[in-house]
Chain A
Amino acid sequence: AQSVTQLDSHVSVSEGTPVLLRCNYSSSYSPSLFWYVQHPNKGLQLLLKYTSAATLVKGINGFEAEFKKSETSFHLTKPSAHMSDAAEYFCVVTLSGSARQLTFGSGTQLTVLP
């Protein structure tokens, strides 16, 4: 069965500094991997997805993530944090092309300090 582990429950960065949110996954099959963001009192918004094409995936708002099969990782990065990036981020895995059940990580709360 697939699973996903977000290594940090809280990350705090200063505005203008890089963001790194870590995610490791476990899957018996070729996974699809996603990052979703949830702003306060808002729904889940898709940031980016990996589905076995390019290993470096670019998403919205300047975020990107790199799929590393050897490390079973899919870390989310952004070169320069903005105050509006403060939110909860979820790493998500599903079986590529078959099951439609998303398995969510426990989430990382990102705080951006002025």
Chain B
Amino acid sequence: EPEVTQTPSHQVTQMGQEVILRCVPISNHLYFYWYRQILGQKVEFLVSFYNNEISEKSEIFDDQFSVERPDGSNFTLKIRSTKLEDSAMYFCASSELGDHSTIYFGEGSWLTVV
């Protein structure tokens, strides 16, 4: 069964450093998303991406964050100048053009900022 894959599964970074989380969405999907889950808190929407541009973003997704689809298969989340409160599990997800209400998630990238 096709799946969303994410790398790395776990990354530890120093405060102030830049981090790039990578994702390979399901191949025929056209909508891409990032969500995050801070330990002990709810899963939160960050951003959705379609046709090479951001379609929706939450208030969490400020200038510190950016997303990119650098080629035909990868979808990345960049966090500039990481802060301690950026420590969380980051989930990539994707959905089809015809059924965009069903969103498939990857296994997550656990980011620890020290």
Contacts from A to B (Cβ < 8 Å): 32, 34, 36, 41-46, 49, 51, 90, 94, 96-97, 99-107
Contacts and interface: CB of A to CB of B under 8 A. Distances in A.
Given A90-B43, A104-B43, A104-B44, A96 B101 contact: yes
Contact of B48 (A44, A51, A100, A103): A100
Contact of A43 (B45, B91, B100): B91
A107 B37 CA distance: 12
A107 B102 CA distance: 19
Contacts of A46: 102-104
Choose among A32, A43, A106 the residue with the greatest number of B CB atoms under 10 Å from its CB. Answer: A43
B64 interface: no
Nearest to A94: B101
* 8 residue pairs, one from A and one from B, having the closest CB atoms: A43-B107, A44-B105, A104-B43, A101-B45, A32-B101, A43-B105, A104-B42, A100-B48
Contact of B42 (A44, A96, A106): A106
Q: Is the interface of B mostly helix, strand, loop or mixed?
A: strand
Interface string B82-114: 000000000101010000111111111000000
Contacts of B58: 101
B10 to A, nearest CB: 10
Nearest to B106: A43
A101 B56 contact: yes
B65 interface: no
A34 B99 CA distance: 14
Contacts of B28: none
Contacts of A104: 42-44
Contacts of A44: 43, 91, 93, 105
A41 to B, nearest CB: 8
A6 B33 CA distance: 24
Choose among A49, A94, A101, A105 the residue with the greatest number of B CB atoms under 10 Å from its CB. Answer: A101
Contacts of B75: none
B53 to A, nearest CB: 14
B35 A102 contact: yes
